Amino acid sequence: MSYRVAVASSDGKYVNEHFGRAKQFLIFNVADDQCEFHELRKNDPPCSGDGHNQNQMTKTVELLADCKAVLVSQIGQGAVQALSLKGIKPYVLPDFIEDALKSFLQIKVTG
């Protein structure tokens, strides 16, 4: 079974973005125990220092609607709820992307 995973990263090397502040998501195709980079999706972040813009949160979740999971360094409860309504599960895995994807695959295998 094949599916997509989004990764919140500012540098393409590390899962280092809070979901609501991510300006981009790296999208990976996952099949069995293999992950392959698919594309980079630019995002207009819904969160600022004052809170978040609900309209933009909806757009960010829609941007990832074809993904099964998103890997982030941090995420708020509002974003968790918005993602779960679309069937997207967030994982807080701040690590090198390659290592975070391996951890994700282990969680999926054992979970």
Tokens of 24: 């981009």
What is the pTM (predicted TM-score) of this model? Answer: 0.94
- Residue type, position 39, single letter: E
User: Is residue 54 over pLDDT 60?
Assistant: yes
Residue 90, domain CATH? 3.30.420.130
Residue numbers of the domain that contains 31 = 2-110
Q: What's the pLDDT tens digit per position in 16-36?
A: 999 999 999 999 999 988 999
User: What is the per-residue pLDDT for 32?
Assistant: 84
Tokens of 100: 């975070």
User: What is the per-residue pLDDT for 111?
Assistant: 55
Vertex 25: Cα angle to 62 and 111 (nearest 5): 85
Maximum CA extent, the chain: 41
Q: What's the pLDDT tens digit per position in 63-100?
A: 999 999 999 999 999 999 999 999 999 999 999 999 99
Total number of domains constituting the chain = 1
DSSP, collapsed to helix, strand or coil, labels residue 23 as coil
